[in-house]
Amino acid sequence: MPNDPPAKPSRILVPTDFSEAAEAAKMYALMIAEGFGATLHILHVLPESGDFGEGLDAAQMSELMEHARRGAHQRLDHLLAPHERESVRAQLALEFGRPTAKIVDYARDNAIDLIVIGSHGRNAIDKWWFGSVAQGVLLRAACPVIMVRPRPEVPR
């Protein structure tokens, strides 16, 4: 029914590129997850092998992809502080592919109720890249999406 209140979220997805905007989204999602007792899914998407490493042979490409995978797993493992891990149930995920499609697919495949995503990064390239991902997710996701801006820098 159009006037029914939204169901409380039980699965919240936070895509991350490890930027300030993604950190702000994570903090916002943590607050929501704690309030509703929801599980927090944190997803990082690495580009497919064809998206970088041009000119490398198969062995070099495989080594580069494995190095990228290990580095991303380490960053994901350290993304939640110990006190944050105690306050919510969290699942960490790493995917390869195009960020917008992978985020939307992950949300669908894991019955995500809410996506909390950073609106953009700090510099022009981050704003162009991550902003376009956030906008794509907003347009394509089947569940509600909250876009979170990074905290503005306060002049000292």
pLDDT per position as a tens digit, 18-36: 888 899 999 999 999 999 9
Determine the Cα–Cα distance for residues 37 and 75; give it in Å rounded to an integer: 25
Phi and psi at residue 64, in whole multiples of 5°? -65, -45
pLDDT tens digits for range 97-120: 999 999 999 999 999 999 999 987
Spatial CA neighbour of 16 closest among 117, 149, 112, 128: 117
Structure tokens at 51: 């998206």
Residue 43 is predicted with a pLDDT of: 96
Q: In 10 A of CB 104, how many CB atoms?
A: 23
Residue 47, classified by CB atoms within 10 Å of its CB into exposed (0-12), middle (13-18) or buried (19+), is middle
Residue 76 is predicted with a pLDDT of: 81
Q: How confident is the model at residue 152 (pLDDT cuts 50, 70, 90)?
A: low
Residue 103 is predicted with a pLDDT of: 97
pTM for the predicted model, two decimal places: 0.82
Half-sphere exposure of 123 (CA within 13 A, CB side): 1
> Could you give the angle at which helices 124-140 and 99-109 cross, rounded to 10 degrees?
40
Which residue ranges form the domains of the chain, and what is each CATH number? 11-148 (3.40.50.620)
Cα dist from 89 to 2, 83, 148, whole Å: 31, 12, 21
Residue 22 is predicted with a pLDDT of: 92
